Structure 1
Amino acid sequence: MLIEQLQAAPERFAELAGRHSACSSKEQGGNLGQLSKGQTVPEFEEALALMPIGLATSPVNTRYGFHVVELVHKVEGALLPFAQVRQRIADYLEQKAYRRALSQYLQILISEAVIEGIELDGADSPLLQ
């Protein structure tokens, strides 16, 4: 079992990942880098959230299979004061509104255009949501 081999020789993680992993991370010795919420499937995130730093004692099961995981570093999130994130929230909402308006404008243009050879979703009405 790989976990037993790693418990005996933790320095072999990259070697064993390169040899046994089906994940593209095997090219980096199994290193997934720094992960943030939403970057992996929920079942993997949940396992990482509950896991202490170190080698997992059992494989993590996800929809993609079983994973041998070593958690090297963990940084807990912190609630930030509104004043500190206000501008980021405003920028995000502005960009979201811009993308939605652009999408709606393109739908109107598509519905008014004669386009052959490709099927595009146009607007059924000038009133969009």
Structure 2
Amino acid sequence: ITKTGDDKYTYWRIKLPHEEAAKVDAALNAHRDALVADWKHHHDTSGPVSDTAPPFPATIDAFMRLVEVGWDTEATRRPHGQHTTVIVHLDLAQRVASLHLGPLLSDDDRRYLLCDATCEVWFERHGQPIGAGRT
């Protein structure tokens, strides 16, 4: 697995043996089918799709659902008190926070990631750490 990125996106490239790729395909298809069934359950499919309806589920939605379900399952199997640690860089001058080795977070992503995690914040000024804290 390789990972690269630019200012806007992170790119993942993965190479799997055919047997393992078949498992990934089956898992993606199962999650896409579940998302499509849920979408159809909540929307009238007898006529044209409303402009205000959420978009029809795509492969990326199925992939993110697969990741989130796996993450949730793993979190429930952990011993009590063992949480994910999220490291956040906080630039005090700019008042901007970003993930360690990652992008800026939307409010929704921040709430999701931090709901069951310990948080380590690195306070920085002009790109230099000046302190750290942990919750």
Give the TM interval when normalised to the shorter protein: under 0.3
Larger Rg: 1
The TM-score normalised by the length of structure 2 is: 0.25
| Structure with a larger share of its residues in helix | 1
Q: Which has the higher contact order (CA 8 A, sep 6+)?
A: 2
| Structure with a larger share of its residues in strand | 2
